[in-house]
Amino acid sequence: MPSSELWAVDLFGRVFTLSTAGQQWELCRDAQLEFKRVSAAAPCCWGIACDNQVYVRVGASDVPIRCREEAYENQRWNPMGGFCEALLPSDRWPWSDVSGLQHRPLDGVALPSPHWEWESDWYVDENFGGEPTEKGGWTYAIDFPHTYTRDKKWNSCVRRRRWTRYRRYKSRDTWAKIPSEDDPQQLPDPFSDLSVGGWEITDEPVGRLSVWAVSLQGKVWYREDVSHSNPEGSSWSLVDTPGEAVQISCGPHDLLWVSLWEGQALVREGINRNNPKGVGVVWAVTKDRKVWFRRGVNSHNPCGTSWIEMVGEMMMVNVGLNDQVWGIGWADRALYFRHGVTQSELSGKTWKAIVAGRECDGSRAGSLSSLLSAGCFFGDEVRGGGESRVPSDSEAERPGPDPERDVEVAGPASAPAELPWTNIDLKEPKKGPSHAAADFPEATNLSSLALLPLGLEEPDSADCHALWGWVSGGGCAVEAHTTLKWFTAHSGLPASMQMLSLPITPAQTAAWRKQIFQQLTERTQRELENFRHYEQAVEQSVWVKTGALQWWCDWKPHKWVDVRVALEQFTGHDGVRDSILFIYYMIHEEKKYIHVFLNEVTALVPVLNEAKHSFAVYTPERTRQRWPVRLAAATEQDMSDWLALLNLCCCESRRVHGRPSPQAIWSVTCKGDIFVSEPSPDLEAPERWLPCDQMFWRQMGGHLRVVEANSRGVVWGIGYDHTAWVYTGGYGGGCFQGLASSTSNIYTQSDVKCVYIYENQRWNPVTGYTSRGLPTDRYMWSDATGLQECTKASTKPPSLQWAWVSDWFVDFSVPGGTDQEGWQYASDFPALYHGHKTMKDFVRRRCWTRKCKLVTSGPWLEVAPIALGDVSIIPEIPGAHGSGPGIALWAVSDKGDVLCRLGVCELNPAGSSWLHVGTDQPFASVSIGGCYQVWAVARDGSAFYRGSVSPSKPAGDCWYLIPSPPKQRLKQVSVGRTAVFALDENGNLWHRQGVTPSYPQGTSWEHVSNNVRRVSVGPLDQVWVIASKVQGSHSLSRGTVCRRTGVQPLEPKGQGWDYGIGGGWDHLSVRASATRAPRSSSQETAGKRRGELGLPSGPSKVAGAPQETPNPVCC
């Protein structure tokens, strides 16, 4: 987990942050601003200052917040003068938005607030649908509005072009005042409370926030259009409430609660009806300072069922991420954390005081005016400095709370649609005089603070704890297994303990250690010397492990059968260990067996299976057959034990130990398992090369989706949740413990992925769209292809190692767009889907998503805080000229921003900071070559080349648009030393011809092969791919590692394919494999002749070159 921050405000209005990775409060320094309260989210923090103004603080990041402003210049063709701005009266404006309905001249587009600045001037965007337009950027059509094309035709009567300009948000890491729509100096009404949430609402775009506020007059306001790209929002909207509100709280999902001055609690119903998120948490503090927990709160019952009283008196409570709870004690104004909050026990176990130190600026006199403006005297009593009392660890269940005073919620809120408010009955029948069910006897403020004497100086010593007034944990992510450093003083041992410690100096400790080591060495030598003349008693040792597994039998009908397995390991005279795996099975009441020599095993791969803990054993022969030995264990622990033991035996047989070499080949399976193979010198030999099916792959710990390596030992990975990870140099982790794992550099790693199913419907003339389809239709609940039935109840996580962390919700971000309910329409199954209904649409579908999480361990450390979609490290040849101390690394964020990592080297593989590289559109893939040539692919399928990239200028100069292959949209690019290969969405592999040092953009694309899923080009221009399908002698293999053969300087695209390991591989990286094969005498002679004749060594087309063999990766 990356470090996150807890926000708090002390009694003097100063804002502090406490990192989950640290143990000291850091002051948010700003120009004379004192705050009443704050509400934090992951990317930002909102606050109400003592001047009754609302401020937002957006944390600094290497990726800027950029927004693109667009304006369209429209022209119509005139028979007299050609295209001109003289339009018809019924036409759109000469300068308009994309719809043509809004007048938008270039000089009329202004910055929304002083917190923005222009990044560049207006320029014409000459990219249209991933392809370059004619000079000038014009696109043509018959009339307004219509379908526009790049080419001008005889009937093109109108044309338009897009002008683009970017603005950048500049108020980072500082408090920015939120302007009002009408008067920038005044808010709609002075605010007394606000709450930020709603970032988990599924029908909102990623990065959208819900900001709610309560004014001093009891009105509820909602801030429109708050998102990552617009952190300050646009305007305030008034939301009607049944009474005057005093406090509001919203969570990350669809839960919004409000407490009124009269003592009632209201919950907002109907928010995001498409989000069936079922978990929500509500905590409350009543007038008598008691803490209550609301049981049974969910989206279907946002009111909950009953109240549970928690022991302890709090001034306020706050619920943050993962339902974690913070509070401020009533008597001592200390900050407390609710320990033991988990998904199974949402109420937690005990309150623990946070004793982290603070950055103190020295003594400072308290200001009475600031305390008054902070609303500190609305309490029912004025108290002095009371006795410090820590809440106890017990809790009790009571009929219900007294009149409500403070409410904190976890679970989201959305935009202020016209939705009803529901009253929450806070008082249940109890003994004594009865009152109205929801009436409060006396109104009280939600954040009452004790009155301090005028002129009180803030404590500056470590013995006096800080006095807090408000806390917000909306941006603080604390997992159940996270170890925090907040609860122990970091000043060392107490003085009494320090006095009892013995004064041992480091020099004395070193001498003592050396003496012990010398004595042990001498004793070992004496013991061995006395037995040297003895003969060896045992020449060969044998060790056997047996167990019960299941085996997927080789003959038809294929099924799982119960077998007994025995692993026999023996040690020879030379100390070499070898092992044999025996599988005993019964057929026709006769006991038979098959055996596998572990020195012939090339890979042990866990299989993605929803029902069984299974793994596959590959040998060269079975790799060619596409039929591995598949075994299944009864439990996950049994499978982990067998995998670890078999991997250890295989590594001992091949004498492979320790961390991988810097030039290793890395790969990732569709299950997320990471494998590495050590390349032999003859792997890339032009003659008598080593076949791919004989490569030995061993599994590394961790879980990733993408991995990229460099020959200097720098390895980066990306998880399914777009989290970036860097390799630490260890090995093992996960199920590999003990001898199969290193003792250091192993860390906890987690990953989150989404599982998708589709709800399909067909239109009926009588009832409309219904779940009853034609007999030939797909399943009404299916996967994306429609061939496999997948219902909500039957769909399981990808494997037994994953666990659900959310309920099913509608995915509104599918390609093609959706309507308000998430439906996509088409004429029939299957077809192209779109997000609006037409007269010809007879079927529709919508995508349902559910998140699952995996927690494991491995030699990986997280690189925070930017989520990545793709990464590329420069491929280098060890010892080659030009390899400097720095290592070039480029990446694409999950939002499409292109980034360059600075400070990457062998000693610091994680680097130091990100350098943002400006683009006109979001990108999907990037690759840097051995000569610092950077290629990238945008999300619209267009290719780009970055010019002038060098070690002294790591970000380069500008982007050059490269035309894509005809009628194809690229999705990935890989660049080697000189070769450039690209992959399109249809699985076609392309080679860029004509790439030379003087013209690095190349001239044209040449088709190489089809049925390719992923491509990787190494530092020797070797080409490896992941093939979608490969047919073996026994079965069909999906996701197979293949190497391009015949790659030569005069034949850069190669001639054929060599098949390797298969059966579920998703990613491959050979960019660290720079092991050269020994050159033969014939090759050296040919190289000298080419040099004497002055022939180019780069890519070129040679007449009479061997033709490419028929695509071997076709099914």
Is 50 exceeded by the pLDDT of residue 1090? Answer: no
Facing residues of 548 across strands?
Answer: 564
Interior angle at CA 392, CA 386 and CA 398, nearest 5: 105
Is 50 exceeded by the pLDDT of residue 22? Answer: yes
Task: Pick 1012 or 304 by higher pLDDT.
Answer: 1012
The Cα 721–Cα 484 span in angstroms is 24
Mean of the pLDDT values across residues 780-806? Answer: 90
Is 60 exceeded by the pLDDT of residue 203? Answer: no
Mean of the pLDDT values across residues 1056-1073? Answer: 90
pLDDT confidence of residue 722:
94
What is this structure's pTM? 0.76
pLDDT in tens, 283-315: 888 888 888 888 777 767 778 788 888 888 888
Beta strands 44-49 and 54-58, pairing class? antiparallel
> Distance between alpha carbon 394 and the CA centroid of its chain, in Å?
38
Is 50 exceeded by the pLDDT of residue 416? Answer: no
Is 80 exceeded by the pLDDT of residue 201? Answer: no
CA distances from 321 to 97, 117, 281, 479, 492 (A): 40, 33, 11, 9, 31
Q: Which amino acid is at 70?
A: E
pLDDT confidence of residue 1081:
47
Written as six digits, the tokens of 617 are 């054993």
Beta strands 66-78 and 82-84, pairing class? antiparallel
- Would you place residue 165 in the very low, low, confident or very high pLDDT band (cuts 50, 70, 90)? very high
The Cα 74–Cα 689 span in angstroms is 61
Is 70 exceeded by the pLDDT of residue 514? Answer: yes
Is 50 exceeded by the pLDDT of residue 402? Answer: no
pLDDT in tens, 211-260: 999 988 888 888 888 988 889 988 888 888 888 888 898 887 778 888 88
Is 50 exceeded by the pLDDT of residue 197? Answer: yes
Mean of the pLDDT values across residues 81-105? Answer: 90
Task: Pick 633 or 442 by higher pLDDT.
Answer: 633
Q: Is the peptide bond before 865 cis (omega within 30 degrees of 0)?
A: yes
Beta strands 357-358 and 24-27, pairing class? parallel
Is 50 exceeded by the pLDDT of residue 411? Answer: no
> Distance between alpha carbon 418 and the CA centroid of its chain, in Å?
34
- Would you place residue 734 in the very low, low, confident or very high pLDDT band (cuts 50, 70, 90)? confident
- % residues pLDDT > 90 (the chain): 35
Mean of the pLDDT values across residues 9-16? Answer: 90
- Would you place residue 1078 in the very low, low, confident or very high pLDDT band (cuts 50, 70, 90)? low
Phi and psi at residue 270, in whole multiples of 5°?
80, 5
Q: Which amino acid is at 985?
A: E
Could you tell me which residues come within 8 angstroms of residue 724 by beta carbon, excluding any fewer than 6 positions away? 716, 717, 718, 862, 863, 864, 866, 867, 868, 871, 891
The SS3 call for residue 488 is coil
- % residues pLDDT > 70 (the chain): 79
pLDDT confidence of residue 432:
37
Q: Which amino acid is at 1061?
A: I
Q: What is the mean pLDDT of the chain?
A: 80
- Would you place residue 167 in the very low, low, confident or very high pLDDT band (cuts 50, 70, 90)? very high
Written as six digits, the tokens of 544 are 């056997």
Beta strands 209-215 and 220-226, pairing class? antiparallel
Greatest mean pLDDT among 874-883, 1021-1030, 1085-1094 lies in 1021-1030
Could you tell me which residues come within 8 angstroms of residue 879 by beta carbon, excluding any fewer than 6 positions away? none
The Cα 1099–Cα 1008 span in angstroms is 14
pLDDT in tens, 927-984: 999 899 999 999 989 999 999 999 999 999 999 999 999 889 999 999 999 999 999 9
Written as six digits, the tokens of 894 are 């999950």
Q: How many CA atoms lie within 13 Å of 150's alpha carbon, on the beta-carbon side?
A: 11
Task: Pick 590 or 609 by higher pLDDT.
Answer: 590
> In whole angstroms, how large is the CA radius of gyration of the chain?
34
Is 60 exceeded by the pLDDT of residue 495? Answer: no
- Would you place residue 1101 in the very low, low, confident or very high pLDDT band (cuts 50, 70, 90)? very low
Helix (H) or strand (E) segment spanning residue 985:
none
In angstroms, the first-to-last Cα distance of the chain is 42
- Would you place residue 539 in the very low, low, confident or very high pLDDT band (cuts 50, 70, 90)? low
Task: Pick 453 or 941 by higher pLDDT.
Answer: 941
The Cα 751–Cα 42 span in angstroms is 18
CA distances from 1108 to 1026, 1102, 1114 (A): 18, 13, 14
Is 60 exceeded by the pLDDT of residue 672? Answer: yes
pLDDT confidence of residue 369:
35
pLDDT confidence of residue 434:
34
pLDDT confidence of residue 489:
57
The Cα 382–Cα 454 span in angstroms is 13
Task: Pick 395 or 882 by higher pLDDT.
Answer: 882
Beta strands 306-319 and 395-396, pairing class? antiparallel
Task: Classify each residue of 54-77 as buried b or exposed e, where b means 16 or more C-beta atoms within 10 Å of its C-beta.
Answer: bbbbbeeebbebbeebebbbbbbe
Is 90 exceeded by the pLDDT of residue 709? Answer: yes
> Distance between alpha carbon 760 and the CA centroid of its chain, in Å?
29
* Nearest to 425, CA basis, from 440, 445, 446: 440
Is 90 exceeded by the pLDDT of residue 988? Answer: yes
Residues 499/504/506/508 CA torsion (nearest 10 deg) = 170
pLDDT confidence of residue 739:
63
Residues 401/407/410/416 CA torsion (nearest 10 deg) = 130
Interior angle at CA 805, CA 756 and CA 414, nearest 5: 80
Worst-scoring range by mean pLDDT, 125-129, 297-301, 634-638, 668-672? 297-301
Mean of the pLDDT values across residues 125-146? Answer: 84
581, 546 in Cβ contact below 8 A? no
* Nearest to 1006, CA basis, from 1025, 1026, 991: 991
pLDDT confidence of residue 536:
57
Worst-scoring range by mean pLDDT, 413-417, 790-794, 810-814? 413-417
Q: Which amino acid is at 665?
A: I
Is 50 exceeded by the pLDDT of residue 582? Answer: yes
Mean of the pLDDT values across residues 538-554? Answer: 81
Mean of the pLDDT values across residues 1067-1093? Answer: 61
